[in-house]
Structure 1
Amino acid sequence: MIKACALLLLAFNCCAAEIEGLSAIGVGGIPMARQEAIQDALMQASLWNGAKVEASSSVENGRVSELQRVFPVQILDRYKLLREWREGSFYHVMIETDPKPDPVPAEKIAASAPAEVLATPVAAAAQGVLAKPVPVRECAQSDFAYRKKLLLAHFQLQNPADANDLSHFQDGLQQELSRMLSASDHYLPQRTVNEAAFNLQPGFYDPVLQPERVRELARRYGTQFVVGGVIRDIGAYGEQYGLAWGSDIRSGERKISASIPMLKLNGWMPAVAELGLKIKPSSRRFEADVYVFDGASGALLKQQRFADSATGDVIQGRDYIFGSRRFYETDFGKMVEQQLEQMVAGVDQALACQAFAARISRVDKDRIFIDAGSTARITKGDKLQLFRVSGSNQLVPAVNGDSSMSLGTPEALLSAVTITQVQPLFAIAILESGSIRPEVGDYVRFSMKESR
């Protein structure tokens, strides 16, 4: 079999230009077609600014097969709407990108090229870079224009004895992740109380995934995504030595002291008998698996491991509450804080390309109440798409038939809605199409937030 992979780079000297986009007018009417036409124009502007074409071909048993993919080097999402019009069953818009597209430097194009392409000698030589793996993220929605609701389920501890010296370890871990996710301004996080997203059975390493439990948690807490995890290892190891005085011994430490009866009989130096040698661990591990689930389907979106170790001050006192300033000042606490920050970045990476969605909690004649408001950055005049998900009996099964690996549920696009009123925790919208009858449990989604 012969394989070939080529990278075609297109970069132009850009100047001010008008870009036209169009979309067919469908069930969502003109508002939805307008939104899709703007998205089409933005994609064309992004491709005009610089595009990559990946192509591969293979010959096997005399049969030739070819694959090709074209995508922009950078996504443009700011624009100025110049004009819009309807022609028959199509809606047209004319935009100008803002800021104006700039030429993309060759080194940036090379840095964003997939590793398997750069690994090709011809492509690598053409770019003047060394072939090395480079992580790539390409999606049309990666700016977190809206804050997404996320549920942090209980993190299970594989070896509970490892946390004897850590006060409030599991609930503290949940609380700290919630705080960091909220501080990122990308999410509206909530926490469960001792409810995990899956089962961790004794004697088995991999957890038993349960999509129905994930869906039930998401419904009950009203969130779009669910995040769970397993703390695999926080064990301490190695030895370091120091002086110990009296009973100043923490969990995981031990003391060796000389027994000299005569010292106890001498009233002028009884305290010497309290002096001893303290032996405590010199290093400690932190290893955790994080699972990100889609709340509507219960499907696993991403699984990622975070692991590191610290040396020095790694054993905690019972008064060192997890997540407190005192805890983070220790060597082990500093390392754990870095791992929590990486977990938040990992959640960002998993959900950056997932469109914002909210559920319908009430229907009152022509008004629809949505369980997301100004705290999620929804504003009056925003337009959303209305969807209905099939029942749980319509789950698309995995190829192997394992119910824990179901692929999700089909959905139907019903109409477009426009936000007319916004409160902190909810918003009210009206339908663009009066023939549709929305139901509680349906949901609305933003595929793109228009520039203001």
Structure 2
Amino acid sequence: MLKACVLLLLAFHACAAEIEGLSAIGVGGIPMARQEAIQDALMQASLWNGAKVEASSHVENGRVSELQRVYPVQTLDRYKLLREWREGSFYHVMIETDPKTEPVPAEKTAASAPASAANVIAGSAPQGALARQPARECAKSDFSYRKKLLLAHFQLQNPVDANDISHFQDGLQQELSRMLSASDHYLPQRTVNEAAFNLQPGFYDPVLQPERVRELARRYGTQFVVGGVIRDLGAYGEQIGLAWGNDVRTGERKISPNIPMLKFNGWVPSLAELGVKISPSSRRFEADVYVFDGASGALLKQQRFADSASGDVIQSRDNVFGSRRFYETDFGKMVEKQLEQIVAGVDDVLACQAFAARISRVEKDRIYIDAGSTARVNKGDKLQLFRVSGPNQLVAAVNGDSSMSLGTPESLLSAVTVTQVQPLFAIAILENGSIRPEVGDYVRFSMKESR
């Protein structure tokens, strides 16, 4: 058996260049063909500034098989649209690139090369200006729009662990909602005692229910659903301190001296009020977080977040979860850091997911979408109109488990252009007048106008 691998690096001097891209005009009309032409030009520009070719051949029993792929060593994230025109059934664009970018590591470039242009056109830029998006690990990452997200009820595996924390579960939802909103990437909502899945007694893994996820997303009008299980809030260890009177919280115990009651005159209280308090010295926080796609109900990712704190870990009933008093305790400080990591984990999962919004109303060639200026939708934005197949067309997992379905197929219907924007909705017109959209169809981010 013979195996060979050839790595060729075609390195050109990086400089600004005019690159032409083209695309056939299809069902999406000129707007979609224009986007694809820009993507084609960006890919060519990236390859022009340096390409890597990987080839391998495999010979076995006299048969030769060969593999080859070409991808850029740099991902360009600056460009200027110079001109565009139509010739017959093709749409052409001419762009000028700015190669002032850092080289992308080969392992990341190889994984994202086919879609490398998507990051470039993710934001709007005025005519003649250079469009730039911050570099992220995901080539398709885009937070130019704020995505709607639903925080479902977080279930407690051992409810008794949270007896000393006032409003733990609703406070957890509220704090995550506040942090997600502060990131400026999302428009979060919260359910009231509605979980995204069932947690069966005696079973560790939750029973995933894609239909419930889809129903929650439809009812609350969100694109994604986030749920979770708090696995552990247990306190352990011992530390000894002085206690006076009734200064004993849930999870602590007091030992008082067994001596006759001694009373003193004036303000000095009885010695019987003094005692030794034994408190837990450490406490854990462990949570499993599940991120779901609302349209299909599919699980996008499951992540675990866990840490422990020592010191002041038992809470007074006055310390409401998420309050300043709570965050000033040793346990509260650790939990706050874990919540920040959960928000960062949600960001990592959803960075590669395109913005989408549902159609709530149809009037001839005009559609109303349930996202407006609060989601940063702007007049002139171009989006793509899709229709998701019915639930009977779910793509089943290989093992046939309905809770692990892969999602539902979708059909691209047309391109749309936003013509009017209100805070909570926007109106768009269809580029293809023969299409008949329906309530429940959705639009997905395609590109913002570079005008």
Where structure 2 has 5 or more consecutive residues not aligned to the other structure, the ranges are 112-134
* Residues 154-180 of structure 1: per-residue CA shift (max 9 Å, x gap): 001100000011111111111111111
Q: Distance in 1 between matches of 2:358 and 2:404?
A: 24
Could you tell me how far apart the structure 1 residues matched to 2:12 and 2:433 are?
46
Inter-CA distance 94–113: structure 2 relative to 1 (3 Å threshold): closer
Root-mean-square deviation (Å)? 2.5
Q: Name the residue aligned to 2:91.
A: 91
Aligned equivalent of 1:101:
99
| Alpha-carbon distance in 1 for matches of 2:175, 2:328 | 15
Residue of structure 1 equivalent to 2:151: 152
CA distance in 2, matches of 1:60, 1:160: 61
Contact 2:281–2:310 at 8 Å: present in 1 too? yes
Shift of 1:56: 6.3
Structure 2 counterpart of 1:35, one-letter code: Q
* Offset, 1:451: 4.3
Could you tell me which residue of structure 2 aligns to residue 249 of structure 1? 248
Unpaired segments of 5 or more residues in structure 1? 116-135
CA distance in 1, matches of 2:144, 2:192: 29
Q: Could you tell me which residue of structure 1 aligns to residue 45 of structure 2? A: 45
2:434 is aligned to 435
- Offset of 1:276 from its aligned partner? 1.1
Alignment of 1:23-422 (within 5 A): 23-51=23-51, 68-73=68-73, 75-97=75-97, 100-102=98-100, 104=102, 109=105, 138-261=137-260, 263-264=261-262, 271-422=270-421
Contact 2:393 2:409 in 1 (8 A): yes
- The percentage of counterpart residues that share the same residue type is 87
Query: Contact conserved, 1:12 with 1:103, CA < 8 A, in 2?
Result: no
Q: Is the 8 A contact 1:11 1:104 kept in 2?
A: no
Q: For residues 312-363 of structure 1, give each alpha carbon's deviation from its aligned partner in whole angstroms, at most 9, with x where no partner exists.
A: 1111111111111111111111111111111111111111111111111000
Aligned to 2:129: none
- How many residues are aligned here? 427
Distance 1:58 1:283 in 2: 58
Partner of 1:122: none
- Give the Cα separation in 2 of the matches to 1:61 and 1:197: 53
How much does 1:50 deviate?
4.7
| CA deviation after TM superposition for structure 1 residue 51, in Å | 4.8
Q: Measure, in 1, the Cα distance between the counterparts of 2:262 and 2:60.
A: 89
2:14 pairs with 1:14: yes
What is the rounded CA distance, in whole Å, between the counterparts of 1:325 and 1:65 in structure 2? 65
* Whole-angstrom CA distance in 2 between matches of 1:337 and 1:56: 50
TM-score (norm 2): 0.88
* 1:198–1:64 CA distance, 2 compared to 1 (3 A): farther
CA contact (8 A) 1:50 1:104 kept: no
Question: How has the CA–CA distance of structure 1 residues 68 and 152 changed in structure 2, closer, same or farther, with 3 Å as cutoff?
Answer: farther
C-alpha deviation, 1:87, in angstroms: 2.3
Asked if 1 retains the 8 angstrom alpha-carbon contact of 2:146 and 2:375, the reply is: yes
TM-score normalized by structure 1?
0.88
Query: Hey, what's the Cα distance between the residues in 2 that align with 1:175 and 1:54?
Result: 50
Instruction: Give 1:274 shift.
Output: 1.0
Residues in 1 aligned to 2:155 and 2:66: alpha-carbon distance in whole angstroms = 46
Q: Distance in 1 between matches of 2:96 and 2:45?
A: 9
Seen in structure 2, the aligned counterparts of structure 1 residues 78 and 63 have a Cα distance that, compared at 3 Å, is same
Distance 2:142 2:34 in 1: 21
What is the CA-CA distance between 1:58 and the residue it aligns to? 6.2
- Change beyond 3 A, Cα 1:76–1:310: same
Q: CA deviation at 1:7?
A: 6.3
AA of the residue aligned to 1:361: S
Partner-residue secondary structure (3-state), 1:308 = strand
- Return the letter of the residue paired with 2:329: T
